[in-house]
Amino acid sequence: MDFSQKMRKIEAEFQSLKGQVKAGTLTREEAEAQLKDLMIQDEEGKWWIIGYETGKWYYHDGEKWVRGEPPMPAVPTPPLPIARPGPSNWVMVLSGAIGFAIGNTIGTRLWEALGGNETPAIVAVVLWGGIGGVALGLASRDVKKVLAFSLLGALGFGGGYALWLALGQPWGLLKGLWGAVAGLILGVPLKNVIKTIAVSLVGFFVFLLTAIMLADLYNAGAIILADGLRGAIIGAAFGFALSYLEKRGIWPKQIRVGE
């Protein structure tokens, strides 16, 4: 038993003696006499004892008892947690591209099968976001992230589309509102307002640009090809933005442990 363990044992016995005195089963004089038998000597040869009145430790300097703190062994500092490396940018880009391409293609086929009106369209868009979110989560190899991104993708894409419908399906810059809402929701796991807004801006511009870039394909009736390309571009953009911002701070003071 080392010094610190002996000291803790004496402190426990001291409390027991005080309790017996309070209960009337032991007199104060008897308790103080027993305390003298509980003196302990440290490695430097100093004798230590607990004061009955104060409950504090005292050491004998050769002439008198002096209040002090017994030497305690240094407590080892636990190692700092090392941040687990997240998926590389390219894994997230590829997963996002594949997932959202598949999700958009399946969603459109479902929309057509259900009649091609607004109500099935919302279901199809929710499915698009959910499948794409699953792909982003799988890239992280974390079950919790798979579930989280699936729900956030479905909510973001569905909510963005519902807002666009509620505004009368506006064209021009407002076409990007759908993507802005989707990005805003997908950026929530970053737990940083600036980063989340950055993902929202990525969504705004990528939705707007893909609508313009692929308009001719849609008009030409190449729906499956256009849906696949649009989903791939949007998914790749979200995958890159999320992985890049997760590993890097916006301001210098935001430093991840282990970086």
Domains of the chain, by residue range, sit at 3-67, 89-247
Average pLDDT in the chain: 82
Q: Is this model's pTM higher than 0.85 or not?
A: no
Q: What percent of the chain has pLDDT over 70?
A: 87
Is the confidence at residue 252, as pLDDT, over 80?
no
Per DSSP, the three-state class of 210 is helix
**Bridge partners, 67 (sequence order):** 58
Higher pLDDT, 151 or 257: 151
Pair type for strands 57-60 and 65-67: antiparallel
Task: Please provide residue 218's backbone torsions phi and psi, each rounded to the nearest 5 degrees.
Answer: -65, -45
Segments in 167-253 forming alpha helices (H): 177-186, 193-213, 215-219, 223-247
- pLDDT, tens digit (0-9, with 9 covering 90-100), for 104-129: 999 888 888 877 677 778 888 999 99
Note the pLDDT tens digit of each residue in 62-105: 888 888 887 765 555 555 554 444 455 788 899 999 999 999 99
Residue 182 burial by CB count (10 A; 0-12/13-18/19+): exposed, middle or buried? buried
